[in-house]
Structure 1
Amino acid sequence: MTEQWKFICLHHILITQRLNYKREYHSDQRYEMRVLHAFRMQVFKD
C-alpha cells in the first residue's frame, strides 16, 4: 500500500467515525482531539 492510499483510507475512517460520533453524542472537543491524535499516530507510526 502506498503512503497516499493509506492516508486516504485512514482519513475516510476518521471522517466516518467523527460523523457517527456527532450523530450519537454531539460535539465533544476531547473526543475529537483523541481521534485526531490516534490518526496522527497511525500515519506517522510506519
Structure 2
Amino acid sequence: MKSGETLMEVRSDSDVQIDRQILVKGRKTNRTVFTVRLEDPQ
C-alpha cells in the first residue's frame, strides 16, 4: 500500500502543477478574450 500511496502522491503533485499551468494559461486567455470583447463594438 505504501508504494501505491507514494505513486498517488507523485501523481497528485504532477496533476497540481499541470492544473496550475492550465489555470495560468486559462486566466491569460480569458483576460485577452475579455479585453477583445470589450474592445469589440458588437
| TM-score under structure 2 length normalisation | 0.54
Q: Quote the offset at 1:20 in angstroms.
A: 0.4
Distance, in Å, in 1 between the alignment partners of 2:8 and 2:21 is 20
Q: More relative contact order in 1 or in 2 (CA 8 Å, sep 6+)?
A: 1
State the SS of the aligned residue for 2:22.
helix
Highest Rg: 1 or 2?
A: 2
Unaligned runs of 5+ in 1: 27-46
Distance, in Å, in 2 between the alignment partners of 1:23 and 1:7 is 24
User: 1:4 maps to what in 2?
Assistant: 5
User: 2:23 maps to what in 1?
Assistant: 22
Q: Quote the offset at 1:25 in angstroms.
A: 1.2
Q: Tell me which stretches of 4 or more aligned residues in structure 1 moved more than 4 Å.
A: none
Task: Please give the root-mean-square deviation of Cα atoms over the aligned residues, in Å.
Answer: 1.6
Unaligned runs of 5+ in 2: 28-42
